[in-house]
Amino acid sequence: MPRCCVPNCVETGGHQFPRDVKLKKLWLKAIRRLKFEPKSGARVCHKHFKESDYEKIGKYSGIENQRKILKKSAIPSIFSWNVKWSVKINKN
Ligand SMILES: [Zn+2]
């Protein structure tokens, strides 16, 4: 499993960077690595996304998703440099 490419994060796996160039830039800005060029294996783990960044109900099935599906417009927003992160860590 590739490691999460967010600074200070030691998680493995997670979500691939979006193919959309503009959205990818927003992700890189969010993780504070604007100079970073994510390769196909680069991942941002689930810890950096809010519950609301995920599709809860399957578009076609109409029932709750078993797997967490990231919304197309989702941008990672939870990091070691903001408060929400430490709250999350403490819970685990
Ligand atoms: Zn991470």
Q: Where are the domains of the chain?
A: 15-81
Interval between CA 63 and ligand 1 midpoint (Å): 28
pLDDT tens, 19-63? 999 999 999 999 999 999 999 899 999 999 999 999 987 777 787
More confident residue, 90 or 53: 53
- CA distances for 23 relative to 7, 10, 26, angstroms: 19, 24, 5
Interval between CA 59 and ligand 1 midpoint (Å): 27
Interval between CA 15 and ligand 1 midpoint (Å): 10
**Which band of pLDDT confidence, cut at 50, 70 and 90, is reported for residue 71?**
very high
C-beta atoms surrounding 28 within 10 Å: 19
Interval between CA 62 and ligand 1 midpoint (Å): 30
Interval between CA 64 and ligand 1 midpoint (Å): 25
**Both structure tokens of 4:** 């999460």
The predicted model scores a pTM of 0.81
